[in-house]
Structure 1
Amino acid sequence: MSAVVARIGKPHGLRGEVTVQVHTDNPDERFATGAQFATEPDRGVLTIVGTRVHQGVWLLQFDEVPDRTAAEALRGTRLVVDEDEDDDEDAWYAEELVGVEVRDPAGTAIGEIVALHVRPAQDLLEVRLLDGRTGLVPFVEEIVPEVVLGGAEGDEAEPEEAEGGQYVVVDAPPGLFDLES
């Protein structure tokens, strides 16, 4: 299975640079010169020859993309890696989290995850509560101490077959869900 590390946005300039929406916790290491990525949909392997951050936006340049026209053709393409090669055990992807039940520390269902917002400082889980309100939860260990997306460690069962199902525990500080999102 592959994991998305970035999604290519619009071209930047005339020499083939593209903006990317980052989906990795470690872009400095992930986007090192020479790094190669498979693409979805398949547009071949892309090799990074340059990176920079411009006004808070990551810009990548690929060896295979010589100009703006080629860069425009990549818009919407996802850069992916094989999850077996992904060494960040605490990394979660939107595809894994959306739709997962949210529980309080006592185990009571309080809602479900509707989105993962990747931000430079910290990621946020968007949670739809059982009463229909939504709230943003900082995706940090102090507030989200447990993420269960499968069986016990080493268990090969599919997540939906795992005992207790998939869930995320949110130990929300008082008033967190009373704030406007």
Structure 2
Amino acid sequence: MKWFNVGKIVNTHGVRGEVRVISKTDFPEVRYQKGNVLYLEQAERREKLPLTITSYRKHKQFDLLTFQGYENINEVEAFKGGLLKISEEQLNEDHLDEGEFFYHQIIGCTVFTDEGEELGKITEILSPGANDVWVIQSKKSKKQLLIPYIDEVVKEVNINEGKIIIHVMEGLLE
């Protein structure tokens, strides 16, 4: 079975079993809905632990979650450093609008300019604010290129071929 990382538990929050999560998910408001099940993966644990979400809220740059049956800090302290995952069956393409993609579909794609020059492969997606930023490992150098996912830059996304075409605006690659 294929598993996808949706977040990392970095700390506890308060004394009532809430945990701080740095999200890696495309749709936190959908993924963290009350009643959804996430699977906790930890190095010292052989099996993934299923956790049912009982609450979700945003706090600063974190997503705060509580889980059914874990109601105080002592019960969730051991979760720190663990990864929250979902199975491939839990992916739901119904959440995607036209021109939207899951992160795992974009990461690994090769980026070309609209003039045919290969820039490199997407290694990571950042979600700092209004739009996502795609991190490209440059084919020419060791530096990383940061490309905003906006209509003026990203011209074509072909998931099946793993190919993305962008328009290089003035100053974009500097």
TM interval, shorter chain, is 0.7 to 0.9
How many residues align? The count is 163
Q: Which of 68, 76, 101 is 1:71 aligned to?
A: 76
Percent identity between matched residues is 26
Structure 2: gaps spanning 5 or more residues: none
Q: Secondary structure at the match of 2:49?
A: coil
Change (3 A) 1:92 1:22: same
Change (3 A) 1:8 1:146: farther
Change (3 A) 1:9 1:118: same
Q: CA deviation at 1:45?
A: 1.5
Change (3 A) 1:32 1:99: closer
**C-alpha RMSD of matched pairs (Å):** 2.5
Change (3 A) 1:70 1:171: farther
Q: More strand per residue: 1 or 2?
A: 2
Q: CA deviation at 1:39?
A: 3.4
Q: CA deviation at 1:97?
A: 4.1
Counterpart CA distance in 2 for 1:25 and 1:112 is 19
Counterpart CA distance in 2 for 1:51 and 1:21 is 13
Q: What is the match of residue 122 of structure 2?
A: 113
Task: State TM-score, norm by structure 2.
Answer: 0.77
Structure 1: gaps spanning 5 or more residues: 151-164
Aligned partner of 1:59: which letter? L
Equivalent pair of 1:40/1:80 in contact (CA under 8 Å): no
Q: CA deviation at 1:99?
A: 4.2
Q: Secondary structure at the match of 1:70?
A: helix
The reply to whether residue 31 of structure 1 matches residue 41 of structure 2 is no
The reply to whether residue 171 of structure 1 matches residue 167 of structure 2 is yes
Task: State TM-score, norm by structure 1.
Answer: 0.74
